[in-house]
Amino acid sequence: MGLDLKPLVTAQPIKLAELSGKVVAIDAFNAIYQFLATIRGPTGEPLMNGKGEITSHLSGLFYRNVNLLVENIKPVYVFDGKMHALKTQEVERRQQVKQEAMKQYSQALEEGRMEDAVKYGKRTSVLTESMVEESKRLLAALGIPHVQAPADGEAAAAHLTKADLAYAAASQDYDSILFGAKRLVRNLAVSGRRKVPNRNAYVDVEPEMIEHDNVLKETGLSHEQLVDVGILIGTDFNPGGFSGIGPKTALKLIKESGKLENVAKVKDQLQEVPYQEIRDIFLKPEVPKIDRIDFGAVDREKVLDYLCVQKSFSTDRVAGTLDRLQKAQDSRSQSLEKWFG
DNA sequence: CGGCGACA
DNA sequence: TGTCGCCGG
């Protein structure tokens, strides 16, 4: 489980149109993982072509990015680099959750409990190296750049906002706030109703933005103190955080005491946590050395060849979607010509 | 997730 | 025109 900053931050609902013309640095692993989890058939299997290759990530990336490009949003995908050693425990925990989900998944399938199969199937998603390569290849064909982070992708995305190479970072996780991202966009997708699993109910999921300055103003904390709050709650680098301390208590303790070392209540537990190192991960992250990001044009033939010829997508669907994008881009350049002749 | 057809 | 539910690969 990631960093639970949600109760401490105010998210502003935004329309995709408000990001028109803006560069958005998307956490690639976060996005791809979500596509793998969500885009599945009725028995909980991911989409696959005739060769048995998983295509959920490509489907998600294709339709999502076309929608972003139609809105004139400039996506740049940020891929994770080497993992910090302190994250090992959290990664192992996630692997165990996955193992358990695989058991539950096959059991549910055998017993014909399809809703359970779908539920557990989602949790079995594995993001492979070839999926990373495939994703990069599709993005390139769409003219969408990617950045290879030296370490944590969220740190790199946050850096791009600080360097004014991106307007916002996009992820479902809150880590980029601790990394100092100026803005975090969550639910970067076409807004709409989503069915909640196992229930006959729907929730409205709409894009929302969290501004770093606003978080500091509302909590009355410095960035350094916010990181301390995060460490109390628990990050990927100290999963679980401190026993008996949730977001609200963590905030209260740091506001009262100023910093971790002064919180009497956690004095004993603190000895077990490499908090200085975790502070440095967030406050002095390793970031990519980039001074510009180049955006390209959609290479229609490459997209069609890759998705339809190589990956067995429907040519009608893909071509139709590319036509829709082309039309949107044409009409935008038309209205620009009115201004500049 | 996102598109699209079915249906009101 | 809007909502619902299934299909995509």
The CATH number linked to A233 is 1.10.150.20
- A60: nt with nearest C1' to CA: B1
Q: Are A243 and A18 in contact (CB under 8 A)?
A: no
Q: What are phi and psi of A258, to 5 degrees?
A: 90, -40
| A143 Ramachandran zone, left/alpha/beta (phi>0; psi -120 to 50) | left
Task: Classify residue A135 by burial, with Cβ atoms within 10 Å: 0-12, 13-18, 19+.
Answer: buried
Q: Are residues A190 and A151 in the same domain?
A: yes
Nucleotide C1 C1' to residue A191 CA (A): 18
CA dihedral of residues A196, A202, A207, A213 (deg, nearest 10): -80
Structural domain ending residue among the three candidates A168, A189, A218: A218
C-alpha pair distances (Å), A15 with each of A12, A55, A89: 10, 28, 38
What single-letter DSSP state applies at residue A256?
H
Indicate the residue among A218, A247, A263 that finishes a domain: A218
Give me the helix-helix angle, A114-123 and A88-110, nearest 10°.
160
Domain interval for residue A275: 220-285
Let me know whether A12 and A110 are in one domain.
yes
In the numeric block, the tokens 């109703």 are attached to A193
Q: Is the CB of A311 under 7 A from strand C?
A: yes
Å between CA of A198 and C1' of C5: 15
Q: How would you classify the pairing of strands A183-186 and A168-170?
A: parallel
Name the nt closest to A205 by C-alpha to C1'.
Answer: B1
Q: What per-residue confidence (pLDDT) applies to A200?
A: 62
Domain co-membership, A176 together with A263: no
Instruction: Tell me the one-letter amino acid at A17.
Output: A
Asked if A128 and A251 sit in the same domain, the reply is: no
Instruction: Determine the distance from the C-alpha atom of residue A52 to the mean position of all C-alpha atoms in its chain, rounded to a whole number.
Output: 26
CATH number reported for the structural domain that contains residue A168 in this entry: 3.40.50.1010
Beta carbons of A239 and A93 less than 8 angstroms apart: yes
Per-residue pLDDT of chain A (341 residues; tens, 9 = 90+): 689 999 999 999 999 999 999 999 999 999 999 999 999 999 999 999 999 999 999 999 999 999 999 999 999 999 999 999 999 999 999 999 999 999 999 999 999 999 999 999 999 999 999 999 999 999 999 999 999 999 999 999 999 999 999 999 999 999 999 999 999 999 999 877 776 655 567 787 899 999 999 999 999 999 999 999 999 999 999 999 999 999 999 999 999 999 999 999 999 999 999 999 999 999 999 999 999 999 999 999 999 999 999 999 999 999 999 999 999 999 998 776 665 65
Give yes or no: residues A156 and A278 share one domain: no
**Residue A174: CB less than 7 A from any atom in strand B:** no
